[in-house]
Structure 1
Amino acid sequence: MSSTTTEPRWSWGPLTVRLMLAQTTVLLVGLIIVVGTAVLVGPTMFYHGLIEAGHADAATGLVHLDEVFRSVSLTALTIGGLPALFIAGLLSFYIYRTIGRSLASFSTAAGQVADGNYDVEVTSAKLGPEFDSLAASFNDMAARLAAVDTTRRQLLADLAHEMRTPLASLKGHLEGIEDGVVEWDERTAGILDAQIARMERLARDIRQLTAAEEATARLQLTLQDPDVLASQSVAAIESTAAAKNISVRTMSAGPLETPVLLDRERMGQVLGNLLENAIGHTPPGGTITVHTENAPEAVTITVTDTGEGISPKHLQHIFERFYRAHTGREARRAGSGLGLAISKSLVEAQGGTLEASSDGFGRGASFYIRLPRTTRKE
Structure 2
Amino acid sequence: MTDANIGKMIVAGAGPVGLTLALMLRRAGIDVTVVEKRATVNLQSKASTFHASTIDLLETCDVLDSMLAKGTRVDSVQYRAPDGVVLAQLDFDLLKDRVRNPFRMHYEQGELTTLMRDLFVKEGGDLRFNAGVSGGEQDDAGVTVTTEDGQTIRAGALFGCDGAQSFVREAVRIGYVEKPYPGMVLRLYAQTDMRQIFPGLGGIAYLHLRDETCSLLEMPDCWRIVVRVPAGVSETEAMTDEWVVDRLRNLLSIEKLMPSVSGRDVYSARSRRAFAASAGRVYLAGDALHLTNTKGGMNLNAGLHDAFAYSLAAVESFACGDTAPLDRAAWERERVARCILLPRTSENAGTGSERVKRIASITTSPEGAREFLAKQAMLDMLGGVSPELVGTGAVHV
- Same fold per superposition (TM over 0.5): no
Higher helix content, 1 or 2: 1
Q: TM-score, normalised by structure 1?
A: 0.19
Which structure is higher in strand share? 2
For normalisation by structure 2, the TM-score amounts to 0.18
Q: Computing the radius of gyration over CA atoms, which structure comes out larger, 1 or 2?
A: 1
